[in-house]
A and B are shown apart, each in its own frame.
Chain A
Amino acid sequence: EIVLTQSPGTLSLSPGERATLSCRASQSVRSNLLAWYQQNPGQAPRLLIYGASSRATGIPDRFSGSGSGTDFTLTISRLEPEDFAVYYCQQYGNSPRTFGQGTKVEIK
């Protein structure tokens, strides 16, 4: 099973700043089939990015994904108040599908 390690655990930033979140896989993710989700308290996860770099429908272009193989990054170019949440990566190229443990983006 592929283990996904997200870093940092918590990111303290101010609105308007740039956020860079990392997701590292224990082995190469087939075809870079990696997704990013956002989760707010008491809500279900929301798909942001799939295929490492494709934005899901309705996702603002301040969200971008990059990376390949074992190293992936989610970047939020300018944080809006609604972006302070927990972010998870998920690989779906290898069975079983696995998730990272999450990165919390909090207001500094």
Chain B
Amino acid sequence: EVQLLESGGGLVQPGGSLRLSCAASGFTFNTFAMSWVRQTPGKGLEWVSAISGSDGRAYYADSVKGRFTISRDNSKSTLSLQMNSLRAEDTALYYCARFLPCGGDCPFDYWGQGTLVTVS
């Protein structure tokens, strides 16, 4: 069974840093691209960042580029998101999500339960 378990959320002051982690199990982690997606009541769902499976190519939304860094440790089946220079507008529930292996551009087929980040 595919499982994605996020951790690392919490309360942080503006300008501060936080590191989110996502522990993956139930699938061959290094063969799947992964992503972070956040959700707020006001802005809804927003794609944040993605990373390819094997070569670790990273992609970012303009809203977080230069402040957030996505990474993965395939030996530990773990996805991470280092968030620096946090702003109030980064407050959200952050989901770890797996890309459906559909070949090419694909949606997200599995999501974790999320970890809450509050910047205040």
Contacts and interface: CB of A to CB of B under 8 A. Distances in A.
B45 A96 contact: no
13 contacts: A31-B105, A35-B107, A35-B108, A43-B113, A47-B108, A50-B107, A51-B102, A88-B44, A88-B45, A96-B61, A99-B44, A99-B46, A101-B44
A50 B100 CA distance: 10
Interface of B: 44-47, 59, 61-62, 95, 100, 102, 105-109, 111-114
A56 interface: yes
A90 B107 contact: yes
Given A50-B106, A96-B61, A96-B62, A45 B47 contact: no
B44 A44 contact: no
Contact of B47 (A44, A51, A93, A96): A96
A94 B114 CA distance: 25
Contacts of B111: 44-46
Contacts of A98: 47
A92 B62 contact: no
B105 A92 contact: yes
B44 A47 contact: no
A94 B15 CA distance: 31
A19 to B, nearest CB: 20
Nearest to B35: A97
Contacts of A56: 100, 109
Contacts of A102: 44
A46 B111 CA distance: 8
A92 B106 contact: yes
